[in-house]
């Protein structure tokens, strides 16, 4: 089935892992995919896989901790395909040690970076994506949270606080953008 035929999607952190699988699945349903990732080489490889399957994909270097990168990414998707239907906010630097430690161990720099990557990025993404979706009268924003947005454990203050904030921001955005025909949902996966 091609349920997403002619729709345009951006997947942040879309080069590999959950983001890569999401990009491939959306493409298999007919969506044109902008794969936004820090790792442009892997993004290119994933885009090649998608194109080899007969679908449309474009790799794009993006750092979600930078507001300008998010704005440019959304503008690029619209410039390529004339619209934006789906934004998947998936990017997260899982290797980064700034996401571990409690309030006594985490630095203010760790806190700021984690909040930029996991929370501010979805705010800036919505700020730039929603006007395009509003013009279409529809759209979907999918924010990746985690089971750790609901369940807490010692030693993960930044990560768990940010993922809980993603859930709260998603609920607020769903309330605000729903009347425009834009769905906003959070997904809370466990370990994979």
Annotated catalytic sites, by residue? Answer: 159
Nearest to 117 by CA among 177, 173, 69, 175: 69
HEC string of the chain?
CCCCCCCEEEEECCCCHHHHHHHHHHHHCCCEEEEEECCHHHHHHHHHHHHHCCCCEEEEECCCCCHHHHHHHHHHHHHHHCCCCEEEECCCCCCCHHHCECCCCCCHHHHHHHHHHHHHHHHHHHHHHHHHHHHHCCEEEEEECCHHHCCCCCCEHHHHHHHHHHHHHHHHHHHHHHHHCEEEEEECCCCC
Residue 20: which residues within 8 A CB-CB, separation 6 or more?
Answer: 14, 35, 42, 46
């Amino acid at each position: 089935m091609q349920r997403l035929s002619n729709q345009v999607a951006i997947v942040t952190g879309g080069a590999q892992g959950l983001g890569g699988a999401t990009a491939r699945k959306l493409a298999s349903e007919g969506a044109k995919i902008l794969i936004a990732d820090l790792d442009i080489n892997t993004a290119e490889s994933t885009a090649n896989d998608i194109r080899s399957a007969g679908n449309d994909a474009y790799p794009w270097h993006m750092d979600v901790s930078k507001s300008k990168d998010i704005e440019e990414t959304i503008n690029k998707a619209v410039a390529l395909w004339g619209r934006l239907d789906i934004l998947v906010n998936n990017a997260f630097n899982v290797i980064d040690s700034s996401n571990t430690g409690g309030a006594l161990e985490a630095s203010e720099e760790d806190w700021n970076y984690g909040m930029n990557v996991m929370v501010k990025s979805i705010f800036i993404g919505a700020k730039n994506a929603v006007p395009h979706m509003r013009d279409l009268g529809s759209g979907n924003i999918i924010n990746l949270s985690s089971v750790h947005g609901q369940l807490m454990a010692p030693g993960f203050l930044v990560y768990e606080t940010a993922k809980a904030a993603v859930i709260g921001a998603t609920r607020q955005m769903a309330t605000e953008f729903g009347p425009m025909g834009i769905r906003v949902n959070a997904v809370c996966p466990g370990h994979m």
